[in-house]
Structure 1
Amino acid sequence: MNKLTILDKYILKRYLVTFTVMLLLFVPIGIVVDVSEKVNMMIKNQVPLNKILVYYFNFTIYFTNMLFPIFLFLSVIWFTSKLANNTEIIAILSSGISFTRFMRPFIIGASIISVVVLLMGFYLVPIASEGFNNFRYTYLRTGGQQLMQGDNTDVYRQISDTEFIYVNSFNTETKTAYNFSLENFEKEKLTYKITAARIQWNPKEKNYTLFEYTKRTVGPMGDKIEKVPEKKMKFKFDLEDLAPVVYIAETLPLGKLYDFINKEKKRGSSNINIYLVVFYKKFSIPISAFILTIIAVSVSAMKRRGGMGMNLAIGIAVAFSFVFLDKIFGVFAEKTSFSPLIAVWTPNLLFGILAYYLLRHAKR
């Protein structure tokens, strides 16, 4: 029993260390590629150094969460292939340990990573996503003087049975939206329309300031038009309603995202599937750690003629196939009436079946 405990610690340590090293290798590469693409825009917009450092801290968390299945799969393939090439796996199984028992430290490692990814998805990733998107929308898509002209994010949303709002762009740092309009309808007829060059949220007063305010009231004897340079008003919609759709969902922690989805369901929002995809992925991605670990061990535990290179080639193909299917089904659910729950969990289901088949084959 003591030998088995030592073996568990040995494999578990290799599992976690290899995964960490894989992150330390690939994350800097991602940062270098991102810098090379955006350095000209950063220099042009004179982005402060502290903003850049914070951005790349958030980028690291965002990038890691997005590509975590690939990192995990390749790390397990790598160190399991080394065990197989060194005939360590043959020695372990020859000592009377079953393949199922051999898998135990891998499952423990997958459990640890799943819990970390789950908690990150609930709390840390939304904060990093908000900082990541704040920087991108403020400095990289527009920046400087161009920010005042809008970013063409084009948010159009129904906020009640009779009211619709539209903004051309949204600045997350200043909480300001540009080219704002609000339309009110009664019995499918326009009753009034409010427009403003920009609308800014006032957190202390809990209201909005509209600049270049215009209100057109439609009447039976003619329209009434009111114009003022600046006006403060309260509205029924929340600040999040002015932000781009995916941006909202990505930046909300689990509890707030759940409440936000319920509110949007009551409104009959047409974007509800996008929010649900983000919500369900918070639970499906951690589960993929178990599935990908089982596939990786089953594929690489066998010593092949091509050695570690062949196992890595298979691993890269499987890992990218998983990420590809995950993205395809996510977009499919967002753009159609297909169930977001089924779409998000389909890659796990398909690869779960593959994991079961490969595990049975590996046991033989």
Structure 2
Amino acid sequence: MKILDWYILKRYLGTFVTLLLLFIPIGITVNLAEKIDKILANDVPFIEVAEYYLNFTIYFANLLFPLFLFLSVIWFTSKLANNTEIIAFLSSGVSFYRFLRPYLIGATIVCLLALIMGMYLAPSASKGFNEFKYTYLKSGGDNQQETKNVYRQINEDEVIYATNFNPSRQSALNFTLEHFKDNVLEYKISASRLQYNKEDTTYTLTNFNKRLVGARGDSLIHYRKLDTILPFEFDELTPNSYVAETLNFNELNKFIEDEKRRGSGNLNRYLVVAYKRWSTPVSAYILTIIAVAVSAMKRRGGMGINLAIGIAVAFSFVFLDKVLGTIAEQSDFSPLVAVWFPNVSFGILAIYLLYNAKR
């Protein structure tokens, strides 16, 4: 590798790491100032608080690394331009694409690290971060589970439905279970209330009705209250909406397949998480090219103009990414399109800016 490559690559990685080390303590301080009252009120052990902020660091570094990377490239490339170092490089016969090579090498390193972190390290941190938040920092009424019109296919032959689901009390209202054989309904169980008994893993059904479907007519069995065993675990019916963030690559793929089979209402939310684990590292390349194209030119306003343009572009990318992700989670909009559209649109912008910067 040439001297030029080492020089730019060290600045690329060094500035990125420095920016992370500067902003993460600020984020921890702001978060601690906001949450300190609830932490003290709940008498949270110090070791749990320390683990929470370790997970907080990993979680938000993984979440915001494209923004930090973009700003760091804008910063040090603008300094190179203001010191006329870029002019010296290009005047020596180095083409603009050759000048861009160490940036792409640095983006590859960051991309691989982000991919490994997003697939395996960040999910573990997300689990600790969210569990702490919903244990100590959220009010008792807050939950991250479906509570209305819960529908699940629990196996190949049976589906269940409930109009109201209470995770904290482990109960459900207007419960229905339908059993099929070769796509033909064999019997249907209904109850006005379902209560899970954790001690013996049974269920208490109030106003129990079981309709047996026969070729010559149906028969009905009724009990005012019945304790029985049902073929599902209560906690598995409506997993926390953030559960996808806590699963590594293999676990997430299996979880999504299971949720597809069950007819989960949160499936788009889980798919957005899965697609972002691939799209976020790719954004390192796109934002690097945009940052170099914007800041490689020496401007009359100096570094401040480049930073202002860079911040506007970066926050436009983040805004578009968040808005489309939210739309996909809460509607029928394609999660694949929502996740990859920002990369595609800003990739086109990167090509346009790179062409004009080369000229």
- In which range does the TM-score fall when normalised by the shorter chain? 0.7 to 0.9
Match of 2:232 in 1: 236
Alignment of 1:1-364 (within 5 A): 5-142=2-139, 146=140, 151=143, 153-155=145-147, 156-160=150-154, 161-164=158-161, 167-169=165-167, 178-180=170-172, 183-185=176-178, 191-193=189-191, 195-196=194-195, 209=201, 213-218=204-209, 223-226=222-225, 235-237=231-233, 239-245=235-241, 247-364=242-359
The one-letter amino acid paired with 2:176 is E
Q: Secondary structure at the match of 1:302?
A: coil
Q: Secondary structure at the match of 1:133?
A: helix
Query: Would the alpha carbon gap of residues 221 and 288 (structure 1) be closer, same or farther in structure 2, given more than 3 Å must change?
Result: closer
Match of 1:205 in 2: none
Contact 1:150 1:178 in 2 (8 A): no
| Deviation at residue 66 of structure 1 after TM alignment | 1.3
Contact 1:130 1:251 in 2 (8 A): yes
The one-letter amino acid paired with 2:190 is Y
Query: Would the alpha carbon gap of residues 283 and 234 (structure 1) be closer, same or farther in structure 2, given more than 3 Å must change?
Result: same
Query: Would the alpha carbon gap of residues 289 and 255 (structure 1) be closer, same or farther in structure 2, given more than 3 Å must change?
Result: same
The one-letter amino acid paired with 2:353 is L
Q: Which runs of 5+ in 2 are unaligned?
A: 180-184, 211-218
| Deviation at residue 261 of structure 1 after TM alignment | 1.2
Query: Would the alpha carbon gap of residues 13 and 152 (structure 1) be closer, same or farther in structure 2, given more than 3 Å must change?
Result: closer
Distance 1:235 1:331 in 2: 34
Q: Which runs of 5+ in 1 are unaligned?
A: 171-176, 203-207
| Deviation at residue 190 of structure 1 after TM alignment | 6.4
Distance 1:93 1:195 in 2: 74
Q: Deviations over 1:90-148 (max 9, x none)?
A: 00000000000000000000000000000111101111111111101111113xxx5xx
Contact 1:152 1:169 in 2 (8 A): no
Distance 1:289 1:128 in 2: 22
Contact 2:74 2:307 in 1 (8 A): yes
Query: Would the alpha carbon gap of residues 19 and 332 (structure 1) be closer, same or farther in structure 2, given more than 3 Å must change?
Result: same
Distance 2:84 2:331 in 1: 50
Contact 2:206 2:224 in 1 (8 A): yes
Query: Would the alpha carbon gap of residues 278 and 214 (structure 1) be closer, same or farther in structure 2, given more than 3 Å must change?
Result: same
Contact 1:118 1:286 in 2 (8 A): yes
The one-letter amino acid paired with 2:17 is T
Query: Would the alpha carbon gap of residues 235 and 28 (structure 1) be closer, same or farther in structure 2, given more than 3 Å must change?
Result: farther
Query: Would the alpha carbon gap of residues 241 and 221 (structure 1) be closer, same or farther in structure 2, given more than 3 Å must change?
Result: closer
Distance 1:124 1:74 in 2: 24
What number of residue pairs does the alignment pair up? 338
Q: Secondary structure at the match of 1:276?
A: helix
Distance 2:202 2:57 in 1: 37
Contact 1:240 1:248 in 2 (8 A): no
> More deviation in 29-38 or 266-275?
266-275
Distance 2:63 2:104 in 1: 22
The one-letter amino acid paired with 1:266 is R
Q: Secondary structure at the match of 1:103?
A: helix
Match of 2:182 in 1: none
Q: Secondary structure at the match of 2:332?
A: coil
Contact 2:144 2:240 in 1 (8 A): no
Distance 1:209 1:45 in 2: 31
- CA RMSD in angstroms comes to 2.6
Contact 2:12 2:73 in 1 (8 A): yes
Contact 2:165 2:172 in 1 (8 A): yes
Contact 2:151 2:159 in 1 (8 A): no
Query: Would the alpha carbon gap of residues 222 and 159 (structure 1) be closer, same or farther in structure 2, given more than 3 Å must change?
Result: closer
Q: Secondary structure at the match of 1:162?
A: strand
Match of 2:216 in 1: none
Match of 1:174 in 2: none
